[in-house]
């Protein structure tokens, strides 16, 4: 990921875009902030937010025309939030409080403001607040300009005075009855004396203002709408002089702020145009789902012309949706776990990859994503955190920065499945060619070895041209672990074995295998077992689901496999069950907690992923991936594998069967291979005798599961200790303690001889190597 790609990805996540109201407000008041404050009854906080953006909060909260309301999301539902009323609640309660101003040291450059309307006053307040002395030239005998036309009832004068009292604390000199434009107040003289000039004399003065420019080539006033610079150097202009009679208070304040930004840049010799950000009113691209939001009419103040009571204000604030996106975060436990959203995460991943020296804080985050693609499906801009994470993992692997412990177990498990213990590729017994080859995958062979045999026997009976069998692992752990080279090698190993069978088309029984093989061999002829069986017929045994409902879980890797979705549902119906759809399914399905090897990088997050999924329906679940089924069952959810239906084994024991332990999974695979060779191909296979015979109590078995230690690891330690004599003895218990480091991990075992076997009391491991 280079910096350009980072920016591209960051910009795809629009969670930080302002809500419609804030973007529609010409000065971008943080309406969500004010609403949140009002909800809590924290009016000072709300008022502080308003005043941060609007220099005259009392005035605005009475006379703003509320352009923000046009782009309030609630308009799609009922009606907009009463933004100005909420602002007024804050201002009425807190406006008279003393305002503390911290002035920076006074600057030497001076500014002249011509016209004391709202735009000019905004320029004055803004620039004076930055330490520039400001002189205001006003032709009339008071400040405020056109807002003085509002009645006392609508805009109480006391409120105005209180807003304008800010000038008492700022380096601002207000010159009343000082009509600029001629004699000693000619524009020329003023601009000679001041470093920058702002003209905000109102639309009625347009002709007069034009006359000041008669000496210029255009002969009249021209204002650049982006910077508000005029065609006279260092002279800026705005307000209704620019916008015309349709002026509104908030537009004038907006112009004042734009002009102040330009003047500040101008005085510092900075570019007037570079990276100004958004100014004035615009349309936000923030996406917010409002499907669950209930309608409720806007709260009207109990008496027209009065402000809200606290209760009314709170009720109106409650109507606000507090627009934000978080579509992905709402549905993904992994994204929710880190308490932010992809825009932030992408940067964390990028930073993590850029660290040369120091701690890689985001390793776990990068490694716990399920790579399931749900976020991409939900995101209005299709941002895929899975893609970000897998790219990062590959880079980490390439640079030797992948923590070895994270994926060590699944990678060794994969190596086992692709070793002679499990690997097999054969034509159907008695045949020497194959039109199809069945590839059940390593996980199905680990959980359901007997189904693999049964379904293969069934396929042999009905398939014309012979159906071969291939056992092995598709390489998913390598792919998910970011081990691209290992994945490619695994795929080419598969291709070679397939070639040795004459390149028949492949039938898979595991959605991850389908996904990986399609990815690795794009032109592979491949079909899922489920669509094959749905098409060609199920085994003819009586099945009777009696219309019982089963909630189908689509596996995340098969998100876009419509045919598969349909075949599975069809098989469920053919088996006499009713199909129940979970809230997120098909292209919007969620991961079961296994995808992306999430469960190895962060067991707790995976546990929450499983927990969320199994609570989506009371019905028994049905999956077509054995890992999905096993994960659900691991937290006590009754769930079936689709083969349970196909072979009509739908009693309680199938639904509640727990996932076999890690050692047993490997043993099941090895035994599956031997029994198939013996029983279907009539080959003689010697049993591989374990080096030592072990007795492992249940308590120790669960320790082994938790610590991912296999019986075969333990047996290596005991064999080594017994052969070399390198062992300790605990004189209190009489037990032996020994260690052995077959590869990267050092295993410790506490054991005692027990007849012809060894009784295991405890086991643990570590990765730090004992070097002397």
Partner 1 sequence: MKDNTAQSDMNIICVKCNAVLTIGKVTLAYMGNSFPVDLYKCPQCGLVYIPEDLALGKMNMAEKALEDK
Shortest distance, position 50 Cβ to partner 1, whole Å? 45
Q: How far is it, in rounded angstroms, from Cα 72 to Cα 65?
A: 14
Q: How far is it, in rounded angstroms, from Cα 565 to Cα 514?
A: 13
Looking at the Cβ atoms of 258 and 325, the one nearer to ligand SF4 is 325
Angle at CA of residue 478, ends 477 and 479, nearest 5°? 90
Looking at the Cβ atoms of 3 and 731, the one nearer to partner 1 is 731
Looking at the Cβ atoms of 550 and 760, the one nearer to partner 1 is 760
- CB 717 within 8 Å of CB 738: yes
Shortest distance, position 477 Cβ to partner 1, whole Å? 18
378 binds, among partner 1, ligand SF4, none (CB under 5 to 8 A by kind): ligand SF4
Instruction: Give the helix ranges, DSSP H, for 200-341.
Output: 206-212, 240-243, 249-267, 310-319, 327-331, 333-337
Looking at the Cβ atoms of 2 and 772, the one nearer to partner 1 is 772
Q: Are strands 424-426 and 467-471 parallel, antiparallel or unpaired?
A: antiparallel
Shortest distance, position 392 Cβ to partner 1, whole Å? 14
374 binds, among partner 1, ligand SF4, none (CB under 5 to 8 A by kind): ligand SF4
**What phi-psi label fits residue 280: left (phi over 0), alpha (psi between -120 and 50 degrees) or beta?**
left
Shortest distance, position 28 Cβ to ligand SF4, whole Å? 8
Looking at the Cβ atoms of 66 and 561, the one nearer to ligand SF4 is 66
Shortest distance, position 388 Cβ to partner 1, whole Å? 19
Instruction: Give the helix ranges, DSSP H, for 559-614.
Output: 562-574, 598-601, 603-614
- CB 342 within 8 Å of CB 328: yes
361 binds, among ligand SF4, partner 1, none (CB under 5 to 8 A by kind): partner 1
Looking at the Cβ atoms of 128 and 557, the one nearer to ligand SF4 is 557
Shortest distance, position 146 Cβ to ligand SF4, whole Å? 17
768 binds, among partner 1, ligand SF4, none (CB under 5 to 8 A by kind): partner 1
**Count of other CB atoms within 10 angstroms of residue 686:** 6
772 binds, among ligand SF4, partner 1, none (CB under 5 to 8 A by kind): partner 1
- CB 599 within 8 Å of CB 628: no
Shortest distance, position 371 Cβ to partner 1, whole Å? 21
Task: Look at residue 762 and give its three-state secondary structure.
Answer: strand
Shortest distance, position 361 Cβ to partner 1, whole Å? 7
Quick one: angle between helices 83-94 and 31-39, nearest 10? Answer: 60
DSSP 8-state secondary structure symbol assigned to residue 597: G
Looking at the Cβ atoms of 134 and 370, the one nearer to ligand SF4 is 370
**Chain residues that interact with partner 1, rule: CB under 8 A:** 358-361, 363, 403-406, 725-732, 736-737, 739, 748, 762, 764-772
33 binds, among ligand SF4, partner 1, none (CB under 5 to 8 A by kind): none
Shortest distance, position 706 Cβ to partner 1, whole Å? 11
**Chain residues that interact with ligand SF4, rule: CB under 6 A:** 13-15, 21, 25, 27, 29, 31, 54, 60, 64, 66-68, 83-84, 87, 250, 325-329, 332, 334-335, 341-343, 369-375, 378-381, 383, 385-386, 591
Q: How far is it, in rounded angstroms, from Cα 62 to Cα 50?
A: 13
- CB 556 within 8 Å of CB 374: yes
- CB 107 within 8 Å of CB 131: yes
Looking at the Cβ atoms of 366 and 627, the one nearer to partner 1 is 366
Nearest residue to 343 (alpha-carbon basis) of 308, 375, 297: 375
Q: How far is it, in rounded angstroms, from Cα 139 to Cα 181?
A: 10
**Residues 629/632/633/637 CA torsion (nearest 10 deg):** -120
Nearest residue to 641 (alpha-carbon basis) of 506, 440, 492: 440
Looking at the Cβ atoms of 157 and 330, the one nearer to ligand SF4 is 330
DSSP 8-state secondary structure symbol assigned to residue 293: P
Shortest distance, position 721 Cβ to partner 1, whole Å? 9
Residues in the chain: 772
Q: How far is it, in rounded angstroms, from Cα 755 to Cα 512?
A: 45
223 binds, among ligand SF4, partner 1, none (CB under 5 to 8 A by kind): none
Looking at the Cβ atoms of 97 and 355, the one nearer to partner 1 is 355
Q: How far is it, in rounded angstroms, from Cα 583 to Cα 586?
A: 10
326 binds, among partner 1, ligand SF4, none (CB under 5 to 8 A by kind): ligand SF4
Looking at the Cβ atoms of 304 and 771, the one nearer to partner 1 is 771
383 binds, among partner 1, ligand SF4, none (CB under 5 to 8 A by kind): ligand SF4
66 binds, among ligand SF4, partner 1, none (CB under 5 to 8 A by kind): ligand SF4
84 binds, among partner 1, ligand SF4, none (CB under 5 to 8 A by kind): ligand SF4
Looking at the Cβ atoms of 122 and 418, the one nearer to ligand SF4 is 122
What lies within 8 Å, CB to CB, of 657 at 6+ separation is 633
Four-residue CA torsion sign, 156, 159, 163, 168: positive
First CA to last CA distance, the chain: 41
Shortest distance, position 730 Cβ to partner 1, whole Å? 6
9 binds, among partner 1, ligand SF4, none (CB under 5 to 8 A by kind): none
**What phi-psi label fits residue 466: left (phi over 0), alpha (psi between -120 and 50 degrees) or beta?**
left
Shortest distance, position 705 Cβ to partner 1, whole Å? 15
Shortest distance, position 390 Cβ to ligand SF4, whole Å? 9
404 binds, among ligand SF4, partner 1, none (CB under 5 to 8 A by kind): partner 1
Looking at the Cβ atoms of 68 and 320, the one nearer to ligand SF4 is 68
């Amino acid at each position: 990921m280079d910096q350009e790609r980072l920016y591209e990805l960051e910009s795809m996540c629009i969670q930080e875009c302002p809500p419609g109201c804030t973007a529609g407000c010409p000065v971008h008041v943080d309406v969500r902030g004010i609403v949140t404050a009002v909800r809590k009854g924290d009016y000072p906080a709300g008022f502080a937010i308003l005043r941060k953006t609007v220099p005259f909060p009392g005035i605005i909260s009475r006379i703003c025309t509320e352009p923000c309301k046009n782009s309030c999301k609630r308009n799609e539902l009922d009606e907009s939030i009463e933004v100005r009323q909420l602002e007024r609640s804050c201002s009425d309660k807190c406006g008279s409080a003393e305002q503390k101003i911290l002035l920076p040291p006074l600057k030497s450059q001076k500014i002249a403001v011509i016209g004391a309307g709202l735009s000019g006053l905004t320029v004055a307040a803004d620039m004076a607040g930055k330490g520039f002395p400001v002189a205001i030239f006003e032709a009339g005998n008071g400040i405020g300009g056109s807002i003085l036309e509002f009645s006392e009832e609508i805009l109480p004068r006391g409120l105005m005075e209180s807003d304008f009292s800010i000038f008492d604390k700022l380096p601002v000199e207000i010159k009343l009855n000082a009509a600029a434009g001629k004699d000693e107040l000619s524009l020329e003289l003023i601009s000679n004396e001041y470093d920058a000039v702002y003209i905000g004399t109102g639309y009625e003065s347009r002709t007069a203002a034009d006359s000041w420019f008669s000496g210029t080539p255009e002969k009249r006033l021209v204002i650049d709408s982006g910077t508000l610079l005029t065609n006279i150097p260092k002279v800026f202009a705005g307000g209704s002089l620019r916008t015309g009679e349709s002026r509104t208070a908030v537009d004038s304040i907006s112009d004042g702020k734009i002009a102040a930004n330009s003047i500040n840049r101008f005085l510092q010799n900075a570019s007037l145009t570079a990276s100004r950000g958004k100014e004035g009113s615009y349309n936000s691209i923030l996406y917010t789902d409002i499907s669950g939001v209930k309608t409720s009419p806007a709260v009207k103040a109990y008496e027209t012309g009065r402000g809200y009571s606290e209760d009314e204000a709170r009720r109106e604030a409650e109507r606000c949706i507090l627009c934000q996106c978080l579509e992905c975060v709402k549905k993904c436990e992994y994204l929710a776990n880190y308490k932010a959203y992809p825009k932030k995460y992408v940067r964390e991943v990028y930073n993590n990859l850029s660290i040369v020296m120091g701690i890689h804080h985001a390793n776990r985050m990068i490694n716990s994503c399920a790579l399931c693609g749900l976020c991409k499906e939900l995101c209005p801009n299709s941002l895929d955190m899975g893609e970000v994470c897998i790219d990062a993992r590959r880079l980490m692997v390439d640079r030797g920065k992948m923590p070895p412990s994270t994926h060590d177990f699944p990678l060794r498990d994969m190596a086992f499945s692709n070793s002679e213990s499990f690997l097999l590729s054969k034509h159907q017994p008695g045949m020497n060619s194959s039109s199809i080859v069945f590839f059940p995958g390593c996980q199905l062979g680990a959980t359901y070895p007997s189904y693999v045999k049964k379904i293969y026997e069934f396929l042999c009976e009905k398939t014309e041209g012979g159906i071969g069998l291939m056992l092995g692992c598709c390489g998913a752990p390598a792919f998910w672990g970011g081990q691209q080279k290992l994945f490619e090698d695994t795929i080419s190993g598969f291709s070679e074995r397939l070639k040795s069978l004459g390149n028949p088309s492949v039938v898979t029984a595991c959605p991850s295998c389908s996904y990986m093989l399609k990815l690795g061999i794009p032109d592979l002829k491949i079909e899922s077992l489920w669509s094959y069986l749905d098409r060609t017929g199920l085994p003819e045994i009586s099945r009777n689901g009696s219309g019982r409902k089963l909630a189908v879980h689509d596996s995340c890797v098969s998100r876009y496999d419509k045919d598969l979705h349909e075949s599975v549902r069809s098989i469920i119906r053919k088996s006499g069950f009713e199909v129940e759809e979970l809230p997120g399914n098909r292209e919007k399905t969620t991961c079961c907690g296994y995808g992306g090897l999430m469960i190895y990088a962060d067991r707790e997050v995976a546990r929450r992923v499983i927990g969320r999924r199994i609570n989506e329906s009371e019905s028994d679940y049905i999956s077509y991936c054995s890992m999905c089924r096993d994960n659900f069952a691991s937290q006590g959810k009754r769930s079936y594998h689709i083969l349970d239906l196909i072979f009509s084994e739908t009693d309680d024991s199938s639904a509640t069967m727990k996932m076999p332990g890690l050692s047993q999974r490997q043993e099941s695979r090895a035994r599956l291979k031997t029994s198939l060779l013996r029983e279907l191909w009539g080959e003689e296979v010697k049993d591989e005798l374990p080096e030592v015979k072990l007795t492992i109590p249940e308590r120790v078995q669960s320790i082994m599961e938790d610590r991912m230690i296999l019986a075969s690891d333990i047996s290596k330690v005991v064999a080594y200790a017994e052969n070399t004599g390198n062992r300790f003895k605990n004189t209190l218990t009489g037990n032996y303690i020994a260690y052995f480091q077959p590869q990267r991990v050092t295993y410790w075992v506490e054991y005692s001889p027990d007849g012809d076997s060894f009784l295991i009391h405890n086991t643990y491991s570590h990765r730090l190597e004992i070097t002397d």
